[in-house]
Amino acid sequence: MIESEIIIVGGGPAGSACAWQLKQHGREVLVLDKAVFPRLKLCAGWITPEVLTRLQITPESYPHSILMFTKLHFYFYGRHLPVRTRQYSIRRFEFDDWMLQRSAANVERHRVKDIKQQGEEFIIDDRFRCRYLVGAGGTGDPVYHRFFREKQPRIPEKQISTIEEEFEYEYKDANCYLWFFENGLPGYAWYVPKGNGYLNVGIGGKSMEMKRRGKTIRDYWQPFTDKLEKLNLVTGHNFESKGFTYYLRNKMTKIRSGNTFIIGDAAGMATVDMGEGIGPAVESGLQVAQAIINENPLRLERISRFSVRNIIFSR
């Protein structure tokens, strides 16, 4: 049996931020992740200045590709609304791996399946034992399913379906574009250039809304790639998109039950207006670390439920 005071399931931004904070306070942390890092994570990789600040990173100190945008090109029903701001794009393939290594936590490759509670302790797959258990395993997180799902089921209205692709591309336009509600999509499409010649394009929308209209996210993909071609943003590319779903923030979210916690997508923390999940994942991870270290109360109201306001005020 491998013992650790704290076990975190999942080494994405939520898990690694939590692990990093705990390790900084000298706590014993083991991160279990089913993937070998660096691993693919579907994500546009847009991050806010607050994410960097909270993680004590500067763009200069970050050793991988990072692009800064001083303007975002919003389009609402086709109407252009450029917004001056300061935002960044990173590649999750690089960012998550670096964050996990920086956390200095022990990491084991393991897919968590079975969790038992024995008194004050948790036993995972009869192989790992801990006193505090943190679920940071994304939408399908096993800690959520074992300890939270019954009292706090996922709300179908909060589910977002996405399709995207990140690929090497000699883009000519290094701006970031966001098209809301085009072609009837109940959400938005994005074009996000990355450093080192990568580009991320994708679409995301409310699953239930699409279902009500007799559609799936796939129905919106072709019109979107046609648009990219027409605008000369992506030409001659053979798209190989992938899909993923996650959940937006729900008012009633509880992320602690005794010594079990859920953070990031496991808790459904993404902002309700733009589905921004990295910031809330990091913030919830840091808060849970503080709750374990100091018995601090969790202050979910400090985790922003909206992105647009922060974008407008980030310069």
Contact residues: ligand FAD, CB under 6 A: 9-15, 32-35, 41-46, 111-112, 136-138, 140, 142, 162, 164, 202, 244, 246, 264-266, 270, 275-279, 281
CB of 41 to ligand FAD, least distance (A): 5
Query: Cβ 175 to ligand FAD, closest distance in Å?
Result: 15
CB-nearer residue toward ligand FAD: 182 or 276: 276
Shortest gap between Cβ of 216 and ligand FAD (angstroms)?
15
CB 94 within 8 A of CB 65: yes
Rounded Cα gap, residues 314 and 215, in angstroms: 36
Please report, to the nearest 10 degrees, the dihedral formed by the alpha carbons of residues 91, 92, 97, 101 taken in order: 90
Least Å distance, CB 255 to ligand FAD, is 11
- The DSSP symbol for 248 reads B
What 208-215 contacts at long range (C-beta under 8 Å, 24+ apart), as own/partner pairs, is: 208/156, 208/157, 208/159, 210/161, 210/186, 213/184, 213/186
Where helices occur in 47-169 by DSSP H, the ranges are 49-54, 92-103, 142-143
Q: CA-to-CA distance for 37 and 102, rounded, in angstroms?
A: 13
Nearer CB in complex with ligand FAD: 43/288 = 43
Which residue is at the shortest CB distance from ligand FAD? 277
Q: How far is the CB of 257 from ligand FAD (least distance, A)?
A: 18
Measure the CA–CA gap between 83 and 295, rounded to whole angstroms: 40
Q: Which is nearer to ligand FAD, 276 or 283 (CB)?
A: 276
Nearest to ligand FAD of 1, 119 (CB atom): 1
Residues 6+ apart with CB under 8 A from 75: 81, 177, 178, 179, 180, 182
Give whichever of 28 and 108 is closer to ligand FAD, judged by the CB atom: 108
Residue 279: which of 300, 264, 258, 257 has the closest Cα? 264
Question: Which C-beta is closer to ligand FAD: that of 43 or that of 286?
Answer: 43
Min dist CB 248 to ligand FAD, Å, is 10
